[in-house]
Structure 1
Amino acid sequence: MSKFRLDYVWLDGYTPVANLRTKCMMREFDEFPTLEQLPEWGFDGSSTKQAAGGDSDCVLKPVALYPDPTRLNGVLVMCEVMLPDGSAHPSNSRATIADDEGTWFGFEQEYFLMQGGRPLGFPVGGYPEPQGEYYCGVGFKNVSSLGREISDTHLDLCIEAGINHEGINAEVAAGQWEFQIFGKGSKRCADEMWMARFLLLRLCEEYEIDVEWHCKPVKGDWNGSGMHCNFSTTHLREVGGKEYFLKLMDAFEEFTEEHIAVYGPENELRLTGLHETQSIDKFSWGVADRGASVRVPHSFVKDDKYQGYLEDRRPNSEGDPYLIASRVIQTIQSVPTA
């Protein structure tokens, strides 16, 4: 038998944005363990805003696992937080979300790399060149050697961990980057998104770099950070149709407030109608329209099929992918397909 390092990862009780937490357990297994072999574990919830000091025990329930590419016999364990009686903790956003394996999600996670309290590329007490050459940029003045190294290394780590990482690019603002995660089913995609965030945060410890998830860390004429939610359903992929699509967009407009409520805090700072997507108090859709709430690719409307995937541009970079995917599924399910 071999000793395995199990790094349990969970979401704490901070609001409006939960933090990732982790603790390590050592266990012996004959080979890389299965999810069923991993024990539940406990932690002090009074230190994570999940319990009172007089009754502080919370339970970690393993729900997904990944090989840790940075550790010998390492295992990354995504967990739900449970109460001692076996019920889901109130902070457990995964336990009650709507899920459908036929609904596929792709999240585009934007973020800023921060050093010394400012984004990489920002001089002390000032600003770099205006936005323009940074997006998908090349060269030290546009992306810096450190930004490229961190983004590339993070991609490699995710792939080695079995996370379905789809790609990376430098983003519109200096010091801003993006990675994309794709998964079939809301829980699977959201699990992988949270673990990809965890790997990025842990990687950046080595560089003494902070990851800024806030949707508008630099005020003024600089882009904020989103987490665009691409999605498709079995019906959208295989049938589609203009009549169904228009009804679906009517439902997205009807439930605008419900979507915005779970699409990340302080989204009004980002959804201004100036730099990204539609204003927060409006809903629109458009073909290849970056200023729309929901952007439709040309391939979707080709030959008038209205078939394929859609992109909701409103979720922001601090949003909880469990809640975002769940809300999207609820709205989809409100529209009959026949």
Structure 2
Amino acid sequence: MAQILAPSMQCQMGSAKISIKAGPVTAKMWNSLVLNHRLSGRNSFKSASKFRAFSVKAASDNGVVNRLEDLLKLDLTPITDKIIAEYIWIGGSGTDLRSKSRTISRPVESALGLPKWNYDGSSTGQAPGEDSEVILYPQAIFKDPFRGGNNILVICDAYTPAGEPLPTNKRYRAAQIFSEKKVIDEVPWYGIEQEYTLLQPNVKWPLGWPVGGYPGPQGPYYCGTGADKAFGRDISDAHYKACLYAGINISGTNGEVMPGQWEYQVGPSVGIDAGDHVWCSRYLLERITEMAGVVLSLDPKPIEGDWNGAGCHTNFSTKSMRDEGGYAVIKKAIRNLSLRHKEHIGAYGEGNERRLTGKHETASIDTFSWGVANRGCSIRVGRETEKQGKGYLEDRRPASNMDPYVVTSLLAETAILFEPTLEVESLAAKKLQ
């Protein structure tokens, strides 16, 4: 792990006691402790597992943590049919995730088998104090990698008691678009590349960076290997496995260009599933970084200057694009996207203007462009798609903090449902030539 958070405690090695103040204990600090212990001639730890236990045990009761871990790992399946459902929803900022747990009498196969629930919307910025009740509608379920067994994670959207979707409920409108017959017939596929940055707690500076300073320039970090290049790999790997366990359609992961930054890919997913899977994957990442004592950032430009930002590139295709002759359909979709560039930019994430500067593998936020194999364009088409005459396009404009319900449904709406006049379409085609 990148670091271990330990409370104020006494760790005992042989007859020597070491006091550790509250706060993050880095791997380097622990290595120093072990080295000093060995130099003193005392016996070292017999196993890595015992060393790990010493790093979190309090001197007052060395068995407390073990007993707590035993309880957390309890398998309830042989004892009761009851399960724990973690209801997850999006808070008032549109990017913050909230959750709470409830007991369900028996395992369920679908969200339809779960009851609606409510929460205090005045505490999430979604309702006034005098009328604070907000209703959660279960929409999708995933296996819970933290509790295991038949326990589940439940992706919900939020409504007023009268049944009206909250303004922050972007899933509602997305579900309407994905329910359109023309959209259903086109079977829209999405592959979403979620970039994120890991920050050191308290100082909110990227993981692996010297506090108040900078690492070497970009170059060796992208897909890099080594203690001086890859910061936070354990978090990325833990998240990868947690997603697979949960049933999220994660397809890969890699270290990114800026040190301390990572990416994972979700898809191909069809329609509304893409948004559900990305939001659940973000929840898992929040929980894992919480356990590791590291701060997760989806800021599109976490560090100003000559550093890459963080995006959420969205790969998109329809049945017509994937069939023979699909390249012409892709070009028409690109023309439609050019006509609605401002609308898409306005919906593609907060702070995106700090990222889309025309530098660091981005296009200018003010100008729409497309190209084959060009990562400096708004829309990139792959070489293989051009060669085969069919395939997909990549929208490189969405920021890392974008709402996947908004981006996926807007792409479907623009590419499939939007019908510009012939005059406007002809003008757009000339501009893009």
TM-score range, shorter chain: over 0.9
State yes or no: 1:58 paired with 2:155: no
**Aligned-partner Cα distance in 2 for 1:247–1:183:** 22
Give the one of 15, 26, 34 matched to 2:103: 26
Give the one of 290, 312, 316 matched to 1:205: 290
Q: CA deviation at 1:246?
A: 2.9
**Aligned-partner Cα distance in 2 for 1:35–1:52:** 28
Secondary structure of the 2:234 match is helix
Q: CA deviation at 1:223?
A: 0.3
Counterpart of 1:268, as a letter, is E
Alignment-derived partner of residue 312 in structure 2: 227
Alignment-derived partner of residue 8 in structure 1: 87
**Aligned-partner Cα distance in 1 for 2:250–2:105:** 30
Contact 1:110 1:226 survives alignment (8 Å) = yes
Counterpart of 1:68, as a letter, is D
Give the one of 355, 377, 389 matched to 1:270: 355
| Structure 2: gaps (5+ residues) | 1-79, 421-433
Secondary structure of the 2:170 match is coil
Give the one of 177, 182, 188 matched to 2:273: 188
Counterpart of 1:314, as a letter, is R
Larger Cα Rg: Structure 1 or Structure 2?
2
Counterpart of 2:329, as a letter, is Y
Q: Deviations over 1:74-120 (max 9, x none)?
A: 21000010111122222210001221450000110001000131101
Q: CA RMSD in A?
A: 1.4
More displaced stretch, 19-28 vs 222-231: 19-28
Counterpart of 1:317, as a letter, is S
Alignment-derived partner of residue 140 in structure 1: 227
After TM superposition, list the pairs within 5 Å mapping 1:230-269 onto structure 2. 230-269=315-354
Alignment-derived partner of residue 164 in structure 1: 249
More displaced stretch, 171-180 vs 92-101: 92-101
Counterpart of 1:27, as a letter, is I
Secondary structure of the 2:342 match is helix
Contact 1:240 1:308 survives alignment (8 Å) = no
Give the one of 149, 162, 166 matched to 1:85: 162
Q: Deviations over 1:257-299 (max 9, x none)?
A: 0110111111111111111221001111111111111110111
Q: Deviations over 1:150-207 (max 9, x none)?
A: 0001000000000000000000001000000014333101100000000000011111
Contact 1:230 1:310 survives alignment (8 Å) = yes
State yes or no: 1:123 paired with 2:210: yes
Structure with higher RCO (Cα < 8 A, 6+ apart): 1
Secondary structure of the 2:394 match is strand
Contact 2:321 2:327 survives alignment (8 Å) = no
Secondary structure of the 2:288 match is helix
| Structure 1: gaps (5+ residues) | none
Contact 2:194 2:264 survives alignment (8 Å) = yes
**Aligned-partner Cα distance in 1 for 2:311–2:350:** 11
**Aligned-partner Cα distance in 1 for 2:147–2:259:** 32
- Which portions of structure 1, spanning 4 or more consecutive aligned residues, are displaced by more than 4 angstroms? none
Q: CA deviation at 1:249?
A: 1.7
State yes or no: 1:44 paired with 2:120: yes
**Aligned-partner Cα distance in 1 for 2:124–2:99:** 11
Give the helix-richer structure, 1 or 2.
2
More displaced stretch, 314-323 vs 86-95: 86-95
More displaced stretch, 240-249 vs 254-263: 240-249
**Aligned-partner Cα distance in 2 for 1:179–1:88:** 30
**Aligned-partner Cα distance in 1 for 2:348–2:325:** 26
**Aligned-partner Cα distance in 2 for 1:318–1:140:** 28
State yes or no: 1:330 paired with 2:421: no
Contact 1:247 1:335 survives alignment (8 Å) = no
- TM-score in terms of structure 2 length: 0.74
**Aligned-partner Cα distance in 2 for 1:110–1:205:** 18
Contact 1:62 1:78 survives alignment (8 Å) = yes
Identity of aligned residues (%): 45
Q: CA deviation at 1:311?
A: 0.4
More displaced stretch, 118-127 vs 221-230: 118-127
Q: Deviations over 1:117-164 (max 9, x none)?
A: 1101110111001000000000110013xx110000100000000000
Q: Deviations over 1:9-53 (max 9, x none)?
A: 001122xx4310000001221x44432221000000111111111
